[in-house]
Structure 1
């Protein structure tokens, strides 16, 4: 302050002696200190040398400190910085003129490098880290929810078959299979997508049934064999199809006459809702039904046979549950045949040197050729006479065998396979008996095959009214043929 100078007495010119210890003196003293203010900045300095060393200050590395400390309100009394505090924080920076009261100098908001204080940078960084962690948690939760929702939806689809394929799939169930094993098989076959979830759901439902006082729940028994299932049946529907004891309420009673083919039987079963014909065909051709009477049929080169079980669907009246599985349907027919094939029949076949399958093939031709039961024994005699005189009569020459392939095999097997079966079944072409039965004969035809009349006939034919003509020679047979043609011409 050039205009304010002290005189020799220590007074200030222009203000008088009364201002020696006044506030203006303190103000002048502070201005003088500010003018002489020095800042020393040393980087990487462990100690201060010479006069710059102050024994009452802590040693700082790369810190900022002041050589002149702020004083108290009284002139000439220095104020030490508090022990343990940074000297920078203990100094009050003079407020420039014109600055509003309480305003913070810009230098107080910056470090020596002009950046924000480290404390504030940490706060912002910490906030960013917190937001990032929260976002990650939310993303993980969303992904887990999506995955679990997808699993739940596919499991519900397995159970309810909301959007499932209707194509039949072949599954093989082993003996004594448990529900868990069956569900695994369904999963391996692609019929269900979430076997594990289906097991858990089935277990929960089974526990609920066990806890019910009115319901007794136990591990169900499943039928051994090959089955044809559709995914749109749903889990419960497929399991019910495989169960040995099934819960059905609606039944249907059907009668199957003697002489019907498998084609006709399966068609009727499908029409009345017992089982799909496709399932029945596949089961009949692939399932290994363990019955003793089938052993000879299986050993008779079954590859040349149109259908192994043709001839063993015993004609009778049956009561079926609606929507029954194919194996159970076929079992009903085979069990009935097993009951009808008596020990007497078995002993007689062995006496004649015939297998069970030989008898059934002969009986099936008798059944289709005879107009009534009375014609069966003499027709049987013609067949046996030809079979026993193979050198002279190598073929049976029966129209029914040709008609079987044309009417019942070709619609299912197609043109190419029907030509193959024609060679194996048409008795105008193949020697002796056809490779398989041509229908399912009844008890009368089976008895006629086992007990033929004793005749010398080798030929027979019918007129349009069903009257039969037997002949011993081919000449006699042709004479009857001309007579029948003449009568038809009238």
Structure 2
């Protein structure tokens, strides 16, 4: 009972203090007051609120990031392009071993380890892109001699063609050969695949000024027919077709001098027209001495207006039959007619062969004649005529020499 009383007393005492307004909590120190530990503390100043990054700061940061990334990207692109084309590299031959069944990722490691490439990611991307046009060609096992300044294209082509050594071959290409004949000769000598070469000729990109002078015509069959200059060239066995094409085109670029271009301008002929006419002259004329007279016949017809607007050259029909029709998957009569000078007026849609320098000069410097017709007999004798009646007499005279009259412009 006493315990309960004592408890009640204390409760009453506490409640009484509350009622009297007495605060039982520890007193808080006032500013400048002395604490129980004897230290006189000054009040702490209020903390300044943190400033948020302003719009100007964010813009500056973003700008610096973009600039930095752009510099990095530009450097990467420049390095990749340099590596892609084999530029600024030491000219050194290395021997590498390619195992059976190797894939592009593994090959990249071998090339990078041997210092043949510097940008493995770029090489893998390019190898994937090239595989789209060479889907059935795998890397062939063997020991290869590879030059450190090879382009990616040259590396890939070499390792897929199986050419393990840098063997060379000299090939002579004669005046009047077609691009297809040239491609076949390259393949026969194990330089490159004929179809790969033709694809480069028709679709490849080349940085030559004369490429800007090409006539854009959807009826043109071979883009660079007429521009593969005949000559003797040295190639590597298993050489990249782009490299092969560049040897031809570089030679052509040197042969077409400023003097020849100026002459074209003076007689109002384009480069493409000159080569087209020269290609016909080259196929029609085996004699260099007769080329300028034959050229005069065609020039007279081209200048005659409506009287004889068609060249009527047999060799253009031969080109259609031998070089266009067999290689088109779909019949294209418009293209056939664009090359057949018995049908089309003026020059055909493009060159029909690859002429030599003599035929090109003959196209630019024809002899001054009034001839409108010519033909040859089986012995190679040339007959010229100003009128169709004279031409008929020449036909009879040529026939006496035997069969095989190679007539051109034989119709009125």
Counterpart contact for 1:253–1:320, Cα < 8 Å: yes
Q: Which residue of 1 aligns with 2:263?
A: 348
Counterpart contact for 1:364–1:445, Cα < 8 Å: yes
Partner residue of 1:253 out of 148, 157, 170: 170
Partner residue of 1:363 out of 274, 278, 297: 278
TM-score of the two chains, using structure 1 as the length reference: 0.54
Residues 175 and 365 of structure 1: CA distance in aligned 2, closer, same or farther (over 3 Å): farther
Counterpart contact for 1:390–1:432, Cα < 8 Å: no
Counterpart contact for 2:175–2:354, Cα < 8 Å: yes
Q: After superposition, give the CA deviation of every residue in 1:273-317 in whole Å (9 maximum; x if it has no partner).
A: 1111111122222123232212222xx233110001000000000
Matched residues in 1 for 2:227 and 2:392: separation? 36
Matched residues in 1 for 2:298 and 2:341: separation? 11
Residues 201 and 413 of structure 1: CA distance in aligned 2, closer, same or farther (over 3 Å): closer
Partner residue of 2:211 out of 294, 308, 327: 294
Q: Which residue of 2 aligns with 1:334?
A: 249
2:139 match: secondary structure? helix
Residues 200 and 271 of structure 1: CA distance in aligned 2, closer, same or farther (over 3 Å): closer
Bigger radius of gyration among the two: 1
Q: Which residue of 2 aligns with 1:468?
A: 382
Mapped pair 1:483 → 2:397:
yes
User: Following TM superposition, by how much is the alpha carbon of 1:178 offset from its aligned partner in structure 2, in angstroms?
Assistant: 4.8
Q: Which residue of 2 aligns with 1:382?
A: 297
Unpaired runs of at least 5, structure 2: 1-78, 85-101, 159-163, 405-412
Q: How many residues align?
A: 292
2:134 match: secondary structure? strand
My pick for the range that moved more, 479-488 or 374-383, is 479-488
Q: Which residue of 2 aligns with 1:242?
A: 153
Q: After superposition, give the CA deviation of every residue in 1:66-110 in whole Å (9 maximum; x if it has no partner).
A: xxxxxxxxxxxxxxxxxxxxxxxxxxxxxxxxxxxxxxxxxxxxx
Matched residues in 2 for 1:405 and 1:360: separation? 17
Residues 304 and 204 of structure 1: CA distance in aligned 2, closer, same or farther (over 3 Å): closer
User: Following TM superposition, by how much is the alpha carbon of 1:200 offset from its aligned partner in structure 2, in angstroms?
Assistant: 6.6
Partner residue of 1:391 out of 303, 306, 310: 306
Partner residue of 1:202 out of 94, 97, 108: 108
Unpaired runs of at least 5, structure 1: 1-173, 180-194, 211-216
User: Following TM superposition, by how much is the alpha carbon of 1:219 offset from its aligned partner in structure 2, in angstroms?
Assistant: 3.1
Residues 175 and 314 of structure 1: CA distance in aligned 2, closer, same or farther (over 3 Å): farther
Partner residue of 1:176 out of 76, 81, 85: 81
Partner residue of 1:450 out of 364, 375, 383: 364
Mapped pair 1:229 → 2:134:
yes
TM-score of the two chains, using structure 2 as the length reference: 0.64
